[in-house]
Amino acid sequence: MRFSRGRNFLFRVPEGEELLSFINRFVKENNVLIGTVSAIGSLRNPKIGYFDEKAGKYRVISLSGTYELVSLSGNISVKDGEPFAHIHVALGDSSGKLHGGHLIEGEVFVAEVFIGELLGEPLERKPQGNGLTLWDETRI
Amino acid sequence: MRFSRGRNFLFRVPEGEELLSFINRFVKENNVLIGTVSAIGSLRNPKIGYFDEKAGKYRVISLSGTYELVSLSGNISVKDGEPFAHIHVALGDSSGKLHGGHLIEGEVFVAEVFIGELLGEPLERKPQGNGLTLWDETRI
Amino acid sequence: MRFSRGRNFLFRVPEGEELLSFINRFVKENNVLIGTVSAIGSLRNPKIGYFDEKAGKYRVISLSGTYELVSLSGNISVKDGEPFAHIHVALGDSSGKLHGGHLIEGEVFVAEVFIGELLGEPLERKPQGNGLTLWDETRI
């Protein structure tokens, strides 16, 4: 739960890349095992998920067109032995209304991404039996 | 206004906890007096506030059901002698529409929280006479 | 693309200031050339932009009244030889609905801003021929 600071990356994802898979490739190639991630930009035809607690799975919401990437927040930890990005996004349409949820995919028009690496004990996602893979809970 | 970096915490809040009071307990128990906080996850029955400037108080908006915690942004400083979290959230419903404002409360389904401690001169909230408790302004 | 950590600023913008120009003045006066920025608060009469890919320019969305500043995310880099803030915001109205996009301007009612400076090779925006000024792409 407590970490020291590692490397800091601020970069632009190439236009046309799929954002989530690019971030996952980036952290794998740079061996970032724990960290935080944030970004702004603009995405084409994003798909977001709403996790339906009762159904135990994500409902997929497919948006079409280009959306402002108003916020992207998330973290990096280890899942199935590899670094894994868990990311939520807020997306603005042409009238300024916001849509959002769990990022499933989105084609990059523009993406300016910050990744702050954290160093310390492994932080690992494990299947929870409710459809999610999560870290152990921290109690106080 | 200028701070050095302290400890870094990345952790999962136990399911069923009330998120805002958990964060306030966490910073108190860990003696985090200044810092930033961010998170993603999913909240049940969140209550958010809209500060009505003319009325000088928060209008409470009660949402029911489970919402994606699309963004959580805020800071930690001192109020009434104790560390205090000021937090705003964006929440996604099952159709992907976003709602949000000042976090009043929300039951955790999932919450993955990052707290970045800052070290330096005390940063203190003081009543402003307009219904808010704020830091002194920084002029340039 | 890879940076070390510089100074950390957490401060309150004076009421009545225009937020974007204040942040740009702040980073210029403090010589912050690269960094990340986040904030929460409340803005009056904000203007946000939606970048229309086909038209190659921003469509301006003017909101009236006071909005919760639910999230503000962005970065600092160099444009035309000076530090420049690129910022996106999510804004909550009195019913809790969210609006958002590229921050064009907004009068501060309350703004609590965090700026994390990054140190390293210059990160510079260059005109792209599509109406935007962007960093070079980072390929992996």
Enumerate the domain spans of chain B. 4-120
Interchain CB distance below 8 Å, C138 and A14? yes
Q: Which DSSP state fits B132? A: -
Q: Which DSSP state fits B96? A: S
Report helix, strand or coil for B28. Answer: helix
Q: CA–CA separation, B111 vs B68, rounded Å? A: 10
Chain B: nearest CA to A29, how far in angstroms? 22
Count other Cβ atoms within 10 Å, centred on residue B27. Answer: 23
| CATH domain C11-119 topology | 60s Ribosomal Protein L30; Chain: A; (3.30.1330)
Count other Cβ atoms within 10 Å, centred on residue B39. Answer: 29
Query: Model confidence at A99, in pLDDT bands (50, 70, 90)?
Result: very high
Chain C: nearest CA to A139, how far in angstroms? 28
Q: Do you know the residue count of chain C?
A: 140
The nearest alpha carbon in chain C to B5 belongs to C8
Residues 6+ apart with CB under 8 A from A45: A62, A63, A64, A65, A106, A107
pLDDT exceeds 90 at position A100: yes
pLDDT exceeds 90 at position B77: yes
Closest alpha carbon to B69 in A42, A86, C39:
A86
Give chains near A: 3+ CB pairs under 8 A.
B, C
Query: Model confidence at C129, in pLDDT bands (50, 70, 90)?
Result: confident
Query: Model confidence at C46, in pLDDT bands (50, 70, 90)?
Result: very high
Question: Could you say which of B70, B110, B112 has the minimum Cβ distance to residue A90?
Answer: B70
Contact A137, A25 (CB under 8 A): no
- Chain A environment of C134 (Cβ under 8 Å): 12, 110, 112
Query: Model confidence at B44, in pLDDT bands (50, 70, 90)?
Result: very high
CATH 2.40.10.10 corresponds to the domain A4-133: no
Question: Residue B80 has what pLDDT?
Answer: 96
pLDDT exceeds 90 at position B86: yes
- Chain C environment of A40 (Cβ under 8 Å): 73-75, 86-88
CATH 3.30.1330.80 corresponds to the domain B4-120: yes
Question: Residue A87 has what pLDDT?
Answer: 98
- Chain A environment of B22 (Cβ under 8 Å): 140
pLDDT exceeds 90 at position B129: no
Closest alpha carbon to A110 in A74, A70, A73:
A70
